[in-house]
Structure 1
Amino acid sequence: MSRFLPPWLTFPWDLSRWFSPDRSSPAPDPDLPMGLPPWHQPWTVFQAFIRGLTQDFLWQLRRWLRTKELALLESCVIGLVSGLTAVLIKEGANSISTWRAHQAHQNLLWLPIIGLVGGWCAGWLTLKFAPETQGSGIPQVKAALARVPVALNLRVAVVKLASTMLVLGSGIVLGRQGPTVQVGAALAAQLSQWVPTSPDYRRQMIAAGAAAGLAAGFNAPIAGVLFVVEELLQDVSGLTLGTAILASFIGAVVSRLLGSQGLQFFSTLPTETVRLTVQELPLLLLLGVLAGLLGGLFSRGVLASRFLYERFLPWSLPGRVAVAGLLSGCAAMALPDMLRDNVGLRDWLVEGHGTWHLTALAFVSRFGLVLLATGSGASGGLFAPALVLGASLGYCVTLAAEAFFALPNVPADWVITISSPATYVLTGMGAFFSAVTKGPITAIVIVFEMSSNFDLVLPLMIGSVVAYTLAELISKGSIYDRLLEAGGIHLNRRGDRPGSTVAEWETLTAAQVMQQRVETLDRRVTLGAAQRIFAASNHRGFPVVDREQVVGILTQVDVAHCNYPPQTPIGDLMTPHPVTVQLADTLAHVLYLLNQHQISRLPVTDGRKLVGIITRADIIRAEVKQLTGSYCVLGSQIQPSYVVYQTRAPALGRGRLLVPLANPITAPTLLQLAAAIARDRDYELECLSIITVPPGRPPAETPVDVSASIALLQQALSLGQDWQLSVHTQARVTHDVAQAILDTIRERRIDVTLMGWKGQSRTADRVFGNTMDTLIRQAPCELVLAKLGDRLYSSGSVYPSLFARLHLNRWLVPLAGGPNAQQALEMLPSLVSISSTPEIILCQVTKPDTQPHGQVLSQGQQYLKRRGVTCPIQTRSLHNASVSEAILHLAQGDHCDVIVLGATREGLLKQALSGNIPEAIARHSKQTVLVVRTRAPSPDSGETQGDGVGFSHSGHEG
């Protein structure tokens, strides 16, 4: 039956092809039990169904339509979705505002309370899920169009939409049009990811989305296009204009239809007929001058407000937005009712119902409250506030002129009759908008579209041009460029990043392009093992290392075209003295070497130590990343951790063992395990408590509460006194847990690190989890991960005191001959010292069709006896196609309490051969699991380790 249907409707017969990006095989779900295929989960099936149907449908469209036809179709979709989201933001914010007004009508104290709670919720939502949605969002869109790596996707759109509704609904004085620009651009960027296109095509789609967002926000389709051309993209190519115009038109139509305005493109403002005489030109010039001066000061105030928040209120984003909401609510309590709503205030001013003191109060209050809100980082724009401020300023000029000319001492020749106050109000809107955004053309058109009166064009041109000229003298450049510069992003006059593409590539170094995870081979690995490795890998060559240094390169050609016996070490076959590059070498030098020697990969070394590798694919990937910014997020850089509390004990000079403590429940067990190892090796014990702060706050300047950390570290000091250990303690403030641990390891020269582990990773692209993966790659010391089991204590779920005896008696240690397994074996005598009646089981797992190497088990047994272990030691040889399954069955059947494993190296090669065995065992085991990794060669080297557990003939001989 499927042969009668289009290809994109054949999903029921081949569902598995949608579970991986390349549609070649189902991707495993880390949360599924072993052996259960992912399509048994209904939610996974639904996600795969939608993703596959959408992608297949869009790919078929690409086959049927040409590039321009597809661009126009995408523009229609972008305009439709942008219009819907603009209406959703408007209606959502209005609903919350209506509820807020109802509550305030009963008691004005609700205004600051709602502002406080709503601001905190909006800030938390932004910081937690999409930090790049802070502020209006237009600087982020401008950076993305300048090919700066900034995240624009569906996540950004959803968070921006929700946070903007909370901000506006809670009474914070900002606009919704700026956020609609970012939402439209983010939705367009997400659509361009679903239909992979060139970077230039993606850039044009983002511009169309931004235009549609602004057009839908203001119901001004022409202004949306002009804003993109004048401020964001600065491109007037046919495709850009066509897509932007179509998306803007559809976005405005959808917004008007759903906004109950029909398709009649008349003014949404209740204006009278605009009239202007020649005698009134000086007043228009005066209005332009005032708008330019105050608009320039307003732009500088936005930057000053941001600085003051960072200097005097260095809180996290939720706290800053909550303060802005609280103060805005307090100000609203003191203001008259007509000054509490932006849209109502604008209409009230245009209708000419205000008095001079109310109008001045409106301008001053809005000026201060907008600066208060923008500095906090709240999600909201400057467009609507700028229009309201301009309207207030225009009406103030009208009232001041009428009062001045009514004075008895004014000569009759000087008297100017103001024909229409609405002319000054609307001109003030355009002039102040032009002064703030530095977009005079957009300002003229946006007010013209809102008023639908051609007679207003001349006053708008006079006021906007004068205001723009003066504002440029006071605050040079676009406010959005200044905000980007405050965040560390600099654009040139053309709206691109400084320098040409060639100049950017010349600044890249090997350290920025290389892969840190390197698949290597030891020079003692045999030819037979190397052949099996090449057969199971997609790599065509591997660096050969000896004692952490690169000694050669082994390629498929070397392995395939040789007549040596399988037992020959690859050191006799490799190409010695390979071409390498240093970390600081430029990309131009890398490209020269690749072309000069006609090779496809170059090892990157620090001295002679291997720290990475560069392939031609890495260079292409770096280029795509530079052009599209697909994998980068704009945000604060992680800063070094900062010590806020520490105690020091006598230094013994033999070594240090670090144990990070976070959970008071698991801390006693971790401390006893760490103390056992430290006492056996005569090490000092270094205990660490970590306090995390949001990325936007410097660790060295953020006030924190250390009482919980001190209470936790006191347990370690008590244990040290009881076991006669030298115990040091410290508490660190950091953005990232792994960063704090690495800083401690480097500063305190740690030899062993023992830390708790949940036993699984919730992220599909992580093996042990984000923190653990970073430490396994970079920590320059021995590393022990401890996943505590369900049967750790006989007392049940209630954990006893620090000095209670642990019920860890039966120890299972799988062996495979690798260095990590050997390290686990060496650590075993100190660990079993905490058992009351210890028993040890050494096991080895081999494939069903191979004979076990009994020498590994016998050597392990002899080693333990030489170390003085007197407890019973059993040996077991197991045959099973799955190493993890065999070990789990043995641990369950023999009622083992602890499984001690050597860490499987993280490289893709070994995962392809046997999967990550320790992670699989820890995930499904009810026992306590200890995973041991030997000392890393050097931080970030990516050099691989021998596997701790695995098949005896899988290439672990090295």
Structure 2
Amino acid sequence: MGPHLIFQRFYRWLKSRLRTVDATDTRYALAEACLIGILSAIAALILKQGVGWLGGKRVALANQFGAIWVLPLGGLILGSMAGWLIETLSPTATGGGMTQVKAALARYPVPLSLRVALVKLIGTILVLGGGLTLGRRAPTVHIGAALAAQLSSWVPTSPEHRRQMIAAGAAAGLAAGFTTPIAGVLFVIEELMRDVSGLTLETAIVASFTGAVVSQILQSSTFNFPSSLLDLPDIAFSASEIPFYLLLGILAGILGALFNRGLLLSVKIQKYLNLPLSWRIGLMGMASGLIIAILPPFFRDNTGLRIDLVQGELEWSRILLAFVAHFFLTILAYSANTPGGLFGPALVLGSALGYLVGDFEELLTGTGTETTYALAGMGAFFTAVVRVPVTAIVFVFELNTNFNIVLPLMVTCAVSYIVAESVSKGSLYEHMLKARGIYINEGATGQDFLSKLTASEVMQSQVETLSSDFTLDDVLQAMSASSHRGFPVLAEGQLVGIVTQTDLAKLKKVPGYTPLWEFMTRKPITVQAEASLSDVLYLLNRYQLSRLPVTEGHKLVGIITRTDIIRIEANQLQGDDTTINEVVPDPSYIAYQTRAPLVGVGRILLPLTNINTATSLFKISAAIAEQQNQEIECLQVIKIPKHSDPAQTTVITQQSRQLLQRAERLGRQHQISVHTQIRVAHDRAQAILDTIRERHINLIVLEWNPDKKTPGSVFGPVIDILIRRATCELVIVKLGKEKEAYPQTLDKDTTWLIPIAGGPNAKRAMELLPGLTQLYTRPRSPIIWLCQVFSPHKPTPDYQSLEAKAQQLKEQLERPVIPLPIRSQSVTDAIVHLAESESCDVVMLGVSKEGLLAQVMQGNIPKTIAQQVKSTMILVRGKLDN
């Protein structure tokens, strides 16, 4: 077993140990970030040791056999080898790597993998060991990002998680290269992403910190010179030096902008020549070696030269020569898409420029601190090249940790940035991406419509499910009667598996009584309701699925299919931004909320408006919740004027909180989980619809007060909208007028009248009876009248069917149930007369959406009954189809 396979298995084991429900669990993400930091530090160490060993061999051979032969030949051979390796194994490993990482973070399909990291590592060692004047820190950023992408691909989760890990890898790579963890994170924010709205920075911080610490332990982060080098003496700043720091900033800005223009021009020329990569890098290596061989001997050792430039060990004439030579040699090397970076050269050039300005000040005034100018020059030139002033300031400060350098850095970096943007606008990496045909809109990064939508906004909330105690015959019968090819499997309301036609096709000569749990797919791949649609699509493609159950914890709240996503994409192409759930222009705002344990298989929404009837309505909801093992979500809506912003309007919530706290106490008495929330909204109905969608409500209990009349409405504007648009079940309650509170009305020997006319809603109304009848506190059983109105013109009414339903209900409730057939031309008159003559305390109707609204022209039977009957009315409307 190879090390690659061993590490992959270890990584999967680590994730399986840390994962609980969500694949992107915070503990797992932070553990992965630590691992990324460690690997980035190890890669930085290997890169440092490899470049140092190979570069040392090159210098030794040059001293032994003559620089004029060894340096050009070495640059040609090693550069050609690096180019061939990259062309053959991983073309993405070219250049410094910043453009690839930036494009990947902008969601462009740029390959990042272990292969890219290894090829980049070897290629960088070859070209830098061959004498090309580039840095190794940008490659460590690319390598860190590639390693992070590989880790994420071994145990895939989602595109956003992968993007987050790539950002963490980039930060860790820079931190491992320089031991600057803060600058590593800032560079990711300031240059590579700029939009961090979807990024969790904790992982980038952890990866950067780990990379810096491990790198320091391994001694792999030194700047090709002793780690104490930047602890330079005599760092000071005075106001009289400001003009010279301004001069330094201006020079750095101009020269940095010209440096970038030279790079871009050289890249265009190389692209025009259209030579193979191995030839390009080899020829540039040979040219660099030839130029260095002609220059004074101290140029042959890149490491020693950089030490001398940063420490100021050279005379000003040699510093100037080194600056000019490095300036053009770096452009020459980088233009061939050589695997090397600009961070090191930019810092060295900035240091040299700073010493020159410091020498100039000393020449004019006889005073000055050259070391301060050198450090300030580092930040200024780095800013002009990369256009990240904040990162540059923090970066150089972290290298030196002397507060005296902060003010000079701020002055020079700010001026350098302004001047550089005036001379040549835009980041070097942005221009190089555009040259490759990649245009990144910083303001729109990550804002595609698939990322804006969540699974709960697109899913089908009405799901056909199977019970885990089904047999194969039951499953075959369910599938033959349905158009769906797969069904979630529930056990006690919890998702335990999924069964598809593919599962059935695998069965051979299996008896029909085989339990479902033996052939279903257990622990299916699911997606959380708040997951973005891009994550859903990724999981569908990654695991070759056609549907994904949508869950909240272990509770199934919907299902999403490829067809749903295709429909959304088609709407987007047609300019229609709506989803299957209606999107509201003025969303409500949650001003207060409490959460109880998620222990129920469903959720009942109880909007509370009247403090006098709140307890009665809660007990009705609690009766249903106890019967069906559901939770209760209590809602208070505070209306505000249309011109006010719900999220910015100050409201008084004290009274609402007291009412919700009373509901929580009642929940504890009934041992029911009670969630509460206060919403601020322009429209009460819309706030309720928002809650239904966001909290995955199964049933809503609404109070109807017929005394509050609104012209043009049936039950009132709020209830009418909910009847029309709420997809969950509705239970509309009109409390009786005899008593102020519903429980007192039922706290006596009562009579219930249940008119039925067939259909699913009447059936659903009777299913709620077992729970509602538990509201009785007297030992004597209530009387239930099961009534059906027949037309007097019908010759043979089906009385037997009514009697059978009454007998079935009697056995279920263990209470007296009396069948009562009535012949009447008017259903309304018959029910109202019976309710009054028998002094019925509760009348319960099962009605459809059409029965509640579309019949208004015919007098609206349910509304008429509810208005004329003085007792308590309960109207039940089942779920609507999506």
> TM-score, with normalisation over the residues of structure 2?
0.50
Q: Does 1 or 2 have the higher relative contact order (CA < 8 Å, sep 6+)?
A: 1
Which of 1 and 2 has greater Rg? 2
> TM-score, with normalisation over the residues of structure 1?
0.46
